Structure 1
Amino acid sequence: MRQENLRNIAIIAHVDHGKTTLVDKLLRATDAFRANQQVEERVLDSNDQERERGITILAKNISIEYKDVKINVIDTPGHADFGGEVERVLKMADGALLLVDAFEGPMPQTRFVLRHAIDAGLSIMIVVNKIDRPGADPEKAYNDCLDLMADLGATDEQLEFAMEHVVYASAMNGFARLDPSDDNDNMYPLLDMIVEDMPAPEVDPDGPLAMQCVTIDHSEYVGRIGIGRIYSGTIHDGDKILVVKNDGSRANATVKQLFTFDYLGRKECGEVGAGDIAAVVGIDRTDIGDVYTDPENPVELEPIEIDPPTLAIVFEASTSPLVGREGDIVGARQLKERLMTEAENNVTMRIEELPDKSGVEVAGRGILHLSVLMESMRREGFEFQVGRPRVLIKKDENGNRIEPIEQAVVECPGEYSGKVIELFGNASGTMTNMEQGETICHIEFKIPTRGIMGLKNRILNVTHGEGVFYHTFLEYGPFAGELGVRNNGAMISMTTEKAVAYALGTLQERGQLFVGPGDECYEGMLVGERSKPGDMVVNIARTKQLGNQRSSTADIAVQLTPPRTFTLEEALEYIMDDELVEVTPKSVRMRKRILNAIERKKANVRAGLVNK
């Protein structure tokens, strides 16, 4: 039977198309806040990094009440690196709001999330957002969504439902309309459509208990909290239940606390019925995919598969000459303990200590996925160093090497399209589609994940900063052979001193600098990029020789170009195999793995990279 007083819906969209802002307005429309309550914008982006980056990283559950119906809303990440969250949480939903920007239309990561929603059999309602944006074309965005659904293999029922259920909205201004030309100024048309037309959960309230854990929360006080949807029966506080793991093993457990979602928080309750989403405390070492069921009449549910990681990186204790100046936690033991704690809470990452105990390898879905962990750690006071990200290569049934392939999309002015295509060609990319608009050219590629590294900066350079670049994991494909590496050499400091303006003035004629006057540098640190191939060891502390005669140019100041700064992700994409990124709470520095120039040359000779 259907639970008519419940609706479970997910909100799916490309990053930055307005999901979290829309949820804000739905909360306000249903009086979730007191009249005098001070509420931040994008209230669901509670994590500091989410607010700074403007993206959702963790899927979150809230519930709202409207016309005596409880609507459980799941806000999903839009970025493909956090797709592990999306795949699982869609299992809790019966329907989805597909949110698209009226100007941009569906984007690559819309395709990624939508494919999972279609595969899960969800009823999909289209919400065309930002209809008040200059240049918006709501009708084209709506038609593009239908075309995309058809491309991804949506059923006739899903396509019919989407054609009949479309809402035009501006989440920023708090209105939703059935027709873009209406003058309605509230969110009620969207809420009415959800309550009246979204399917209620179809469950067996009188059957044996069946609940599947799809998200893990963690509390310092009670440990892991399993969150999931109840497919049949009712779960009570204090129940004795059977926990069936993904591998088939079984264990008995007792429910110590039980919560449901209530607006922005959780509400402790004595029982939760079929169709609702519950948070269960008391299941030791509960994991994604665990089924909580009746010990006397166990129910079997499909196991949950999590997409494997595609990129790995090694964390090591910092060996920099400046270690300990900016961070409080620098030891290898503390670094290992912190990463093993992350392995407990973050099931989408694979975290293992290296056999020689020299570091810990962390595998994730992409550079952003890994850099979010690094950013969290540096904010906690950790100082550490990481190597170049390594793509995880597998073997197919025939023993051939296969590697992750990405779908990449570039939008740029038409005059730069040739240079963009050339860049992708050099990185083993293959163009799959090209559409020339009035001013903007839309180009799609298939490219190995290895080829993506460092590509964003090169695209911005050749498009004079006007290119927009997105990519998302597509599939595993044949190994593309060796790819080109960074063409330009690095400038490497020969001493551990502060950089001097006089020295930098002469060095900037040789390439681009990464440091400014007064910056702390050390032997082996990358201080710039040459305009030619081959590394160059430089003296960044050289001062002007002073004689006893006056110079006609004594009063001319050194004119320095501002140094190039790197974010954590940019530094990870920039470095080579023999280089490291040093991460501290205040700085991101790049360095050679072997700091001493003579030792570096000996190592290169032993490796056969240079002649003796």
Structure 2
Amino acid sequence: MKTLNIGILAHVDAGKTSLTERLLFEAGAIGHLGSVDGGDTQTDSLDLERRRGITIKSAVVAFTAGDRRITIVDTPGHADFIAEVERALRVLDGAVLVVSAVEGVQAQTRVLMRTLVRLGIPVLIFANKIDRMGADDAGLLRAIREKLSPRVIALSSVTGLGSPAAASTPRTLDDPAFAEELGELLADGDDAFLESFVDDGIRLGEADFRAELVRQTQRGQVHPVLFGSAITGDGVAELVTGIRDLFPATEGTGEGPLRATVFKIERGRAGEKIAYARLRSGSLAPRQNISLYRRESSGNVVELSGRVAAVQVIGEDAPAAVSGDIARIRGLREVRIGDQLGTAEALPERGFFAPPSLETVVIPERPEQASALYTALERLAEADPFIGTRRHPDTGEISVRLYGEVQKEIVKSTLAEEFDIAVSFAETRTLFVERLVGHGDAVQEMDPGERVYFWATVGIHVEPAPPGTGTTFGLSVELGSLPLAFHKAIEETVVQTLQQGLHGWEVIDCAVTLTRTAYFSPVSAAGDFRKMTPLVLMEAVKQAGTRVFEPVNRFELEIPAHCLSAVLLKLAELRAIPGEPDAGPASCTVRGSIPASAVAEFERALPGLAQGEGVFLSEFEAYRPYPGSPPSRRRIGANPLNRKEYLLRTLRR
């Protein structure tokens, strides 16, 4: 049986969890149709998800349609949980993008569609809620063409729109208007089909149209639209047919070397890790010894090993997982989200979405629970690495990175319900970064004739690297000049030390070169190089100098034309840089950039400025220099910028 892994993606409240439930019910995978309002859906398994009626964690379920086993990854819709969506995108063969026929195309829908198109993932658009009052089919199609993709084709039509009797009817090539519309769309995307379509001597049949539609859909050139209702089930059968016939399936053979991507981790009843992975090639069976590959923040790849205790293929009782399968894997104690099993080949360089640009301090209401709070947050970070827990060794202050206020509420509720820890939060602050201004060189010599604190000689050169390249570590000394463990200690310490620059923010896009090394055998140890490196590195960074940069989002704003002046005034107040407005008869579109720290304030002000009719879309664009006096963040740990303090703390004197 062929396998097909799809994602259900949408803006919050578009109805994707209800659609997933309906797909499972119609396929016979479940005997009871749950509801979001009733809190008994299959994919919203957390109590918190059921109470709030939103998806927080990706869920994986499966059903069978003909000769296909279809595995569904139901993803969160709220922008605060975009990291969950990113992990799901790495394992999909196709995506169903759910759009409400009532609310229309939302800002988050546009972010998702942009990403899917950029990655070349085939997309089917399901126009949901045709039975709801206010549903609009023609207007929705126009909005989809204008805001999502111009190359869409409606494969169904609607009767009784906006009423409980609403029904979706498949369009067929017997309808000359549909045949002409589909033919022109497909001809626009393929020259060979165009020649056949316009040649009077060639008569194209339904099979020709269908084959070309499949080809262009799988290449991401065409995005079919199907109307329906997840609540009534109308149009869902046509959606299943579209998924089965239009998306590329995998014939699992188990051949080739193992390559699998871990995209989700949860804990079992005994606290053990359970990893969810999509196999790209090879096979995976219980009691198999495997390698795990992980790309660190420095860009380096590390290799770990593990032994698989148990493998459960989603949707099938099989002794082993093969290519195309998504499986639950037990026994890998060191596994993390983003790891690749079997080989480092094609390990992703970086994420699709930007990391969080906000940070907040988490305060336990009972101070004696501070240690338990840190442990609990570390456990949450296993399931969401972007959380990035940070603890000050002197004050015990614990901070986490977040995408927004909703995610903060979810973290608070999770800590209270799963770990019995009540917390409050300090005011959310923006995460800035630092970039080098120039070049810097520093060296610390080990002279046995003088007082020696660390038996190590380290020389380092730093310089700016191109934006987006991260931290790179190079050698201008021979690799054999030091034991490999000492080289590794230096490299790991460089990455760790650059988490705090001259102003306390992470130093990004930095090229570090090791220029000098020496050791004194048999006294020198890796710890000497770990302790010496921060002093040398920060001396070089201080010599080069750094500048603080702030995260900036690109935005797109649609507002009534008569509200333009008030909106532009507010944007200027928030240090946004708008472009030339694109004016229409009744509305206008403004594009530009805005500091990430100002996005939340602008979103709060927009309804009043635009009389409730503004649509604001924002996503991370880049970092730009912070104007004025640079903000700083309190450092954690020993401060290598203060040699005396650093030596006292490091030597524990």
TM-score bracket for this pair, using the shorter chain length? 0.5 to 0.7
Look up the SS of the partner of 2:314 in the other structure.
Answer: strand
Shift of 1:26: 0.8
CA contact (8 A) 1:45 1:56 kept: yes
Match of 1:86 in 2: 85
Q: Identify which of 404, 407, 424 aligns with 1:369.
A: 407
2-side partners of 1:438 and 1:101: how far apart?
A: 26
Aligned counterpart, 1:197: 246
Q: 1:352: Cα distance to partner?
A: 1.3
- The amino acid across from 2:361 in the alignment is V
Q: CA deviation at 1:228?
A: 1.3
- Offset, 1:249: 2.7
For 1:417 and 1:42, how far apart are their aligned partners in 2? 43
After the TM superposition, which residues 179-328 of structure 1 pair with which residues of structure 2 at under 5 Å, given as runs? 187-201=236-250, 205-221=254-270, 223-246=272-295, 247-262=300-315, 269-293=318-342, 298=343, 300-303=345-348, 305-306=350-351, 307-318=354-365
Q: Look up the match of 2:599.
A: 452
Aligned equivalents of 1:471, 1:52: Cα separation in 2: 28
Partner of 1:73: 72
Write the distance in 1 (CA, Å) between the matches of 2:23 and 2:261. 27
Q: Secondary structure at the match of 2:83?
A: helix
Contact 1:330 1:383 in 2 (8 A): no
Q: How does 1:507-586 map to 2 (within 5 A)?
A: none
Q: CA deviation at 1:400?
A: 4.6
Preserved contact between residue 13 and residue 99 of structure 1 (Cα < 8 Å): yes
Match of 1:515 in 2: none
Aligned to 2:28: 31
Following TM superposition, by how much is the alpha carbon of 1:256 offset from its aligned partner in structure 2, in angstroms? 0.5
Residue 130 of structure 1 aligns with which residue?
129
User: Does the C-alpha gap of structure 1 residues 161 and 301 become closer, same or farther in structure 2, counting only changes over 3 Å?
Assistant: closer
1:390-405 counterparts in 2 under 5 A? 390-396=429-435, 400-405=547-552
1:99 positional shift:
1.8
* Amino acid corresponding to residue 25 of structure 2 in structure 1: R
Contact 1:125 1:161 in 2 (8 A): no
Contact 2:61-2:73 at 8 Å conserved across structures: yes
Residue in 1 that maps onto 2:574: 427
What CA deviation, in whole Å up to 9, does each residue of 1:568-593 have, x standing for no partner?
A: xxxxxxxxx9xxxxxxxxxxxxxxxx
2:468 maps to none
Distance 1:24-1:162 versus aligned 2 partners, 3 A rule: farther
Query: What are the within-5 Å matches in structure 2 for residues 123-162 of structure 1?
Result: 123-149=122-148, 157=216
- SS of 1:253's equivalent in the other structure is strand
In structure 1, C-alpha distance between the alignment counterparts of 2:577 and 2:421, rounded to whole Å = 41
1:94 CA drift (Å): 1.0
Distance in 2 of aligned mates of 1:313 and 1:219: 29
Q: Which runs of 5+ in 2 are unaligned?
A: 152-188, 191-215, 438-545, 634-653
Q: CA deviation at 1:448?
A: 1.1
Q: Which residue of 2 aligns with 1:166?
A: 225
Contact (CA 8 Å) 1:404, 1:473: kept in 2 or not? no
Please list, as runs of the form range in 1=range in 2, the aligned pairs for 1:465-476 lying within 5 A after superposition: 466=612, 471-476=617-622
Specify the alignment match of 1:501 in structure 2.
none
1:10-39 deviation line (CA, Å, top 9, x unaligned): 122222222111111111111222269998
SS of 1:170's equivalent in the other structure is coil
Q: Percent identity?
A: 26
How many angstroms apart in 2 are the aligned matches of 1:412 and 1:147? 16
Give SS of 2:619's match.
Answer: strand
Distance 1:121 1:92 in 2: 13
Deviation at 1:429?
A: 2.6
Residue 370 of structure 1 deviates from its aligned partner by: 2.9
Aligned to 1:19: 16
The code of the aligned residue for 1:428 comes to R
Alpha-carbon spacing, 1:244–1:117, altered in 2? closer, same or farther (3 Å): same
Secondary structure of 1:245's partner?
A: strand
* Mapped partners of 1:248, 1:111: distance in 2: 33
In structure 1, C-alpha distance between the alignment counterparts of 2:559 and 2:4, rounded to whole Å = 41
Equivalent residues of 1:126, 1:142 under 8 A apart: no
Distance 1:366 1:52, change over 3 A: same
Matches within 5 A, 1:475-514: 475-479=621-625, 481=627
- How far off is 1:476 after superposition? 1.9
Q: 1:463 Cα shift?
A: 5.8
Gap change, CA 1:173 and 1:468, over 3 Å in 2: farther
* Aligned-partner Cα distance in 2 for 1:202–1:36: 31
**What letter matches 1:338 in structure 2?**
A
Residue range with higher mean Cα deviation, 402-411 or 216-225: 402-411
Relative to structure 1, is the Cα distance of residues 424 and 330 closer, same or farther in structure 2, using a 3 angstrom cutoff? farther
8 Å contact kept, 2:252–2:325? no
Distance 1:375 1:419, change over 3 A: farther
Equivalence for 2:638: none
Does 422-431 or 54-63 show the bigger shift?
422-431
TM-score (norm 2): 0.61
Alignment partner, residue 378 of structure 2: 340
Q: Specify the code of the residue in structure 2 equivalent to 1:81.
A: D
1:103-123 per-residue CA deviation (whole Å, 9 max, x = no partner) reads 443322122222332233211
2: CA distance, partners of 1:388 / 1:132: 43
Alignment of 1:85-124 (within 5 A): 85-124=84-123
- Match of 2:125, SS? strand
Conserved? CA contact 2:412–2:424, under 8 Å: no
Query: Quick one: structure 1 residues 135 and 92, their matched pair in 2 at CA, closer, same or farther if it must change by over 3 Å?
Result: same
Rounded to whole Å, the distance in 2 between the matches of 1:92 and 1:48 is: 26
Q: Deviations over 1:43-97 (max 9, x none)?
A: 4223333334433221111111122421011112222221211122112111111
**Residues 480 and 299 of structure 1, relative CA distance in 2, 3 Å threshold:** closer
- Matched position secondary structure for 2:350: coil
Distance 1:330-1:445 versus aligned 2 partners, 3 A rule? farther
Specify whether residues 161 and 459 from structure 1 end up closer, same or farther in structure 2 by C-alpha distance, changes over 3 A only: closer
Paired AA for residue 359 in structure 2: A
The count of aligned residue pairs is 451
Partner SS, residue 212 of structure 1 = strand
What is the letter of the counterpart of residue 446 of structure 1?
Answer: S
Per-residue deviation at 1:311? 0.9
Q: Identify if the C-alpha distance between structure 1 residues 299 and 385 changes in structure 2 by more than 3 Å, giving closer, same or farther.
A: closer
Q: Measure, in 1, the Cα distance between the counterparts of 2:34 and 2:218.
A: 41
Q: 1:35 to 1:202 in 2, by over 3 A?
A: closer
CA RMSD of aligned residues (A): 3.5
Deviation digits for residues 228-249 of structure 1, max 9, x if unmatched? 1111122112222222232433
Task: Find the counterpart in structure 2 of residue 8 from structure 1.
Answer: 5
Amino acid in the other structure paired with 2:43: L
CA contact (8 A) 2:275 2:330 kept: yes
Structure 1 residues 288, 334: closer, same or farther in 2, change over 3 A?
closer
Distance in 1 separating the partners of 2:148 and 2:27: 31
Deviation at 1:102, TM superposition (A): 2.6
